[in-house]
Chain A
Amino acid sequence: MQMFSKNNKISKRQMFRLLTYDLLGIGTLLLPAALARHAGKNGMAAIGIGIVAGALYCLFSGWVISFMKEGETYPDFLKRRLGTFFGTAALVFYVLYYICLGGYSTYIFGHLMVTDLLKEQSFYWIVGGILLLAAYGIFQGIEGRARIYEILFWFLMAPLFIMLFLAAKDIELPRLFPLYAEPFSSAAVGGYFCFEMFSLGGFAFFLAPFAKKKDAVRGALLAAVVFSGLVLFAIYLILQGIFGTEAMRALEYPAVSLMSMVQIPGGFLERQDAIMVAVWFFTVFALLSSSMFYAAESLKAFTKGKKEKLFIVLSAAAFFGIAVCSYRSADFTNWLHDVFLFAATPLVVLIPLVVGVCAKFGRTGKRAARCVALLCLFLTLSGCSTSELENRKFPLAMGVDAREGGCLISYKFQDLSAIADQNASAPDGTDFFIEDRDFFTGISKYANDTNKLLDYNHMKALVLSEDFFEEEESLIGFLQVCGKESLIARNTLLFLAEDAAEILALDENLDTAIGSYLEEMMESREDYQLKDAVTLGDLYNDLANQEQLLLIPVLAEEGGLPIIRSYYALSCGAAKGEIGVQEAALSYLSQNKLRTLSFSLDEQNAVRINRIKAKGRFVGGKKPVYRSSIRLEAVVEKELDTGSGAGEALRRQIKTLFERQMKQSAENLLTAPGIDLTNSYYKLGLYGGGMYKTYQDDPEGYLSDLQLEFEAEVILLNERG
């Protein structure tokens, strides 16, 4: 009975969603890092170029499809228009292309799962399992496949958009600018990368006979290209604004890393990267499943539509083989990607072009097209383990100290018996120390020395000793180990201390674990917000981007409690030593990150400033002169006689004092350790105009030429009363 369905026809909406899934998955996963490498800050322009090229490709595809007869398959169309020999040759290309594409997407799928979801699970199991599922899905025909993505569409897009929306508030504008600092050629190269993704829209040729209305194919494809292009644009914009170009280059899957950093309001989920991997789970599955379907469709043409199931199984086996080769050999993966880039993508355009020309101009065109096809062929030829909850230990804080010939790693765990029973006596084993030759050996030792698995996913604070931090080799080694397979979350708070183990030992004096204490300490600070606190991710970004001032809190003990003694300055990736808390506060103030500040007016009186609004701009010509304009509201303790003009005098006094203090601190820091308190180098790309090119790769030269000016506008609140 074929009453309502099973007519092998899909609607325009189904087609749009199917194509969007095909385009979106691998594109959003791989393109950001590739664009960061090849187009840098021109990445967004590259995406724009890609979208335009993709849209033109859609129009062109629609034109070619218009020559297909109603219900005619693409392989039949190729043979009809190119003749048996060239049509078969073109089909062979499509078979190889889809098998390579499917194999590559299978590899990416498996790799993503092994890297981000199931760290110790077998790649082969994962890949084998998903290919079986894809084959089962395809056995059932195109209608069922289209329905899967039709129903999934908003279930995945809505969370993705919400996460992107939440992430957007953390964009730092200076990371996005200047837009055209790099040559246009980089945008063009990036644009080609994007087009490589959009050229997957070539699926539409195979999809055309399944469309309820042939004319709808072009519209669906165009909508899919524009939609996925815009999503890619949004993702790239956010990634660049949060990580910066350099840091993004170092990341394998920046979009997934981004998901681990987004904080959902309410805190009911700690990190949602594992959940959001679902977006790529389904989208990459869509691509590999489509590739399998079209590979089988192409192969079917050789046997006049027979043995479809056999071809599906053969395609799956070929995908498995390619995925395994890619997994085992990075060279093979690179080669495969080069094949896509330099051979497959041009052919995906050229073959339909040839067919279109043949269809339009008849026999003469056919001959010309055959020559082009032959030329194309020659061109091508050149061309997770499981561990029970009770078998895990959750360090809430970790300290790393430099020791002679190695390092000391200290962990502080939450006392679980205290959670289960509030009256329980103080337990043993809430801390653990390992001393070894390096961090990697140290953390590996833990697993051997205990029967527990260390789960770093809930670590709140990481305390590094200053010695360890300043020793470049240890630090880089540490960061590499942490970054590998995301051992420690990027949003872990970062602190320095003279002796990290000593700071962690203060846990005994606290009524909560020190990790939680440090997190709450940063959360409860009135002067600035937790989002401005330095995290491990900031350190990664700063060491990669080397363009801004990072002030890492240095902890010390006072009255048995940890306090922030000073801040350690890392300027453009270079360690500059400690600065005082007051200087750090002024630095945050000039960067608009401070909410409130107090300082002494004279011996008897203090002034408290609130509602600080700081703006900075470059006023110099060739040499950088950076002027910070700060507007603030001040409250003094003493009573004012408003009629006598004392208020105005006091306002002027505060203004002068504030400006003097700012200037003095800024100049002192600029002269001695070479720290720009205003972090103006970071904004050079955004506001610096031509100066950006001069100092682009010379932060030290910039700092030596920099002049800082401050002007304050003070509103005295006492005066009003």
Chain B
Amino acid sequence: MEKELSKNKEAFLALLGESADIKKKTMQLGLKRDIGCFIAYVEVTGGSFLFENSVVGKLLNRFLCMSKREIMESLSKNALGISDMTTFDTVEEAADAMFTGDVILFVDGFDKALKIPDKGYPAMMVQEPASEKVIRGSREGFVDSIKVNTALIRKRLRTPKLKVKEARVGTRSNTNVDLVYMEDLVYPSLLEEVERRIGKYEIDGVLDSGVIEQLSEEKWYSPFPQFQTTQRPDRAAMAVLEGRIVVLVDNSPTGLILPADYNSFIKTSDDYYNRWEIASFGRLIRYIASFFAMTIPGLYLAVTNFHTQILPTTLLLSFAAAREGVPFPAVVEVLLMEIAFELLREAGVRLPGAMGNTIGIVGGLIIGQAAVEANIVSPIVVIVVAFTALCSFAIPNEEFATAFRLLKFGFIALCAWLGFYGFLYGLLLLLVHLSHLKSFGIPYLMPFVGADLNGYEDERDSLIRQPLFWMRRRPVYAKRNQRIRLRRKDADVFKK
């Protein structure tokens, strides 16, 4: 650290690079305004300097009433009168301190940087997201403010290599859109492509990240989302560490992660917080659920109307007995129940919290029971539809689950028409579609296909989540020469 402010400032800025969420300000202090100072902090961690209620505000106001000599004395002897103040001899230490949520102050003529604790990272106002609930892991979720959201990611990744690039989108809304990424991990071509796609359209207003998502996806007709959405900062931080980009939009609590693939939609945050056995088991269950959420009603129709030989005789006869007296063909029966279920779901979502839950129970139990007793549907179909619904709820990402809910109707139609052949046809069609689908150049079926791109390392985190110490390499999204994320060190990290 030098005594000259300009040199310190230059070194500090060179270390930080450009990042939209870091606020920097040069000011003049002292009675004669003859002492230059430089303040830097992560946005939202510092209070307003104009107001007396913030530590930095008070301090700066006090410095305006002091002479140069008094200021220097206060800096060197009185620790600015703040008990929690720390001084640093290098800009690296100062940057680390800033990322912990404190304000860094450089003063001309003083060869140390000062850490001033102020508001710190947001915590109290942040609530657990309504979706993406986890058993183990952070309870923080994104909020409507983009500044808070970037700070929530920054809080988890305290490195100057984390960059936030900001743009304004929407000719009338002028909405802030941030790209959060790790400078040394992300492919520059990916970053360019994201920027290009966001700037591709001129739109009057961007009121949610969903608008950006729809305008930027490659295959508009695909039911599968090509962006992963998240309301969890830890999930977003995890994606950034993998070399992916997080897109945050102001006034939206949902961040977009890209590139995305089938596997990434099935993963949850606590897959990495829990032990590998249970994480793998949960993941397998979710994979199976994603398959059944789409196929069970269709398979039921195929088996009962076309290929009865598959089922054990007693089960088949039970099915047949249950259908006695039902006036509708099985396909109509299934469609009736599926539509009833979708109605219940829609009603449950739109109604206020407690009422939403009630409608689910009322619908599920009473209407189901009444429909069976009135011989409108058979009990087996109620079980089939309920099981399908359970499976769709087990898919951790809502947008991804929606794709299966829609495809389910396609499978119902194909299986009702062509039986198991229709099922296979649908499966093949889906596979052909998925095998061609890409999210920013990444095959959607990674790492089950094209895993050779990363020496088959990505397969360690697919159907089975292998023990963490085996997952040494970052996924294929990260730059080729930056793929090592875990190595043995054997260092005493607590040693000062």
Contact = CB atoms under 8 A, between A and B. Distances in A.
A and B associate? yes
Contacts of B431: 148, 151-152
A389 B319 contact: yes
A281 B424 contact: yes
Nearest to A141: B436
Interface in B386-432: 416-421, 424-425, 428-429, 431-432
Given A148-B432, A152-B431, A269 B312 contact: yes
A159 to B, nearest CB: 13
A6 B438 contact: yes
Contacts of B424: 277-278, 281-282
A394 B324 CA distance: 14
Contacts of A389: 304-305, 308, 319-320, 323, 330
A275 B420 contact: yes
A516 B313 contact: yes
Interface string A281-292: 110010000000
Interface stretch (A315-323, A414-422, A682-690): A414-422
B442 interface: yes
Interface in B437-496: 438, 440-443, 445, 448-450, 452-453, 476
B448 A420 contact: no
Interface centre among A2, A4, A384 (most CB of B within 10 A): A4
A458 B452 contact: no
Interface string A264-297: 0001111111110110011001000000000000
A144 interface: yes
A455 B307 CA distance: 10
B371 interface: no
A271 B319 CA distance: 17
A121 B313 contact: no
Contacts of B417: 386
A140 to B, nearest CB: 4
Residue from A12, A260, A394, A420 having most chain B Cβ neighbours under 10 A: A420
B308 A117 contact: no
B288 to A, nearest CB: 13
Contacts of A150: 448-450
Nearest to A260: B309
B309 A270 contact: yes
Interface stretch (A125-133, A180-188, A354-362, A669-677): A125-133
B428 A282 contact: yes
Nearest to A278: B424
Interface string A129-155: 110010011001101111110111000
Given A118-B418, A130-B425, A3 B193 contact: yes
Contacts of B448: 150-151
Contact of B310 (A270, A387, A414): A270
B316 interface: yes
A156 to B, nearest CB: 11
B321 A419 contact: yes
B190 A269 contact: no
B438 A5 contact: yes
A278 B309 CA distance: 15
B317 interface: yes
A388 B329 contact: yes
Nearest to A269: B310
B144 to A, nearest CB: 32
B111 to A, nearest CB: 46
Nearest to A414: B317
A148 to B, nearest CB: 5
B306 A388 contact: no
Contacts of A118: 306, 418-419, 421
Given A13-B452, A282-B428, A386-B306, A1 B193 contact: yes
A133 B432 contact: yes
A3 B190 contact: yes
A419 B318 contact: yes
Interface string A632-669: 00000000000000000000000000000000000000
A239 interface: no
B189 interface: yes
Interface string A97-122: 00000000000000001000110010
Given A285-B428, A384-B306, A420-B324, A140 B419 contact: no
A99 to B, nearest CB: 22
Given A118-B418, A390-B326, A144 B436 contact: yes
Nearest to A272: B310
Contacts of B436: 140-141, 143-144, 147
B173 interface: no
A460 interface: yes
B316 A458 contact: yes
Contact of A394 (B308, B445, B452): B308
Residue picked from B317, B326, B419, B453, most chain A C-beta under 10 Å: B317
A392 interface: yes
Contact of A117 (B326, B416, B420, B442): B420
Interface string A1-36: 111111000011110000000000000000000000
Nearest to B305: A386
Nearest to B312: A270
B442 A270 contact: no
A144 B428 CA distance: 12
Contact of B449 (A151, A416, A419): A151
A392 B435 contact: no
A4 B320 contact: no
B311 interface: yes
Contacts of B310: 269-272, 274-275
Specify which of A2, A140, A144 lies most central, judged by the most chain B CB atoms within 10 Å of its CB. A144
B187 interface: yes
B37 to A, nearest CB: 44
Nearest to B303: A274
Contacts of A6: 438, 441
Nearest to B454: A4
A4 B420 contact: no
11 contacts: A3-B189, A5-B442, A11-B452, A113-B421, A146-B449, A269-B311, A272-B310, A274-B309, A417-B324, A419-B318, A420-B324
Interface of B: 187, 189-190, 193, 304-313, 316-324, 326, 329-330, 416-421, 424-425, 428-429, 431-432, 435-436, 438, 440-443, 445, 448-450, 452-453, 476
Given A3-B193, A4-B442, A137-B432, 12 more contacts: A3-B440, A5-B438, A129-B425, A136-B429, A140-B435, A143-B436, A151-B435, A269-B310, A275-B310, A281-B421, A389-B308, A390-B323
**7 tightest Cβ-Cβ pairs between the two chains A and B:** A457-B309, A147-B435, A147-B449, A3-B441, A419-B321, A144-B436, A420-B321
